[in-house]
Amino acid sequence: MGQTELNSLLIQPDDLVLITGASGFIGSRLVQILLDRGFRNLRCFVRASSKVAHLKDIASRNNGARIELVRGNLLSRVDCEDATKDVAVIYHLAAARGEKSVPDAFMNSVVTTRNLMEAALLQQTLRRFVNVSSFAVYTNRQKRRARILDEACPTENQPQTAGDAYCFAKVKQEEIVREYGKRYGIPYVIVRPGYVYGPGNLGISGRVGISLCGLFLHLGGSNPIPFTYIDNCAEAIALAGLKKGVDGEVFNIVDDDLPSSREFLRLYKKNVGRFASLYIPHVVSFALCYLWERYSVWSKGQLEPVYNCKKWHSYWKKTRYSNQKVKGSLGWTPTVPMAEGLRRYFQACRGTESNA
CB 222 within 8 A of CB 333: no
Domains of the chain: 15-202+226-256+321-337 (3.40.50.720)
Where on the phi/psi map is residue 224: left (φ > 0), alpha (ψ -120 to 50), or beta?
A: beta
CA gyration radius, the chain: 20
pLDDT one digit per residue (tens) for the chain, 356 residues? 555 566 678 899 999 999 999 999 999 999 999 999 999 999 999 998 888 888 889 988 888 889 999 999 999 999 999 999 999 999 999 876 655 678 888 888 999 999 999 999 999 999 999 999 999 999 887 766 668 999 999 898 877 665 678 888 999 999 999 999 999 999 999 999 999 999 999 999 999 999 988 899 999 999 999 999 999 999 999 999 999 999 999 999 999 999 999 999 999 999 999 999 999 999 999 999 989 889 888 887 777 777 888 888 889 999 999 999 999 999 999 999 999 999 999 999 998 654 43
pTM value? 0.93
* Of the candidates 225, 218, 214, 252, the residue with the CA atom closest to the CA atom of residue 328: 252
Closest CA to 10 of 100, 99, 87: 87
DSSP assignment string, 190-201: EEEE-EEEBTTB
Pick from 313, 306, 293: nearest CA to 139: 313
Which is it for strands 215-218 and 209-212: parallel, antiparallel or unpaired? antiparallel
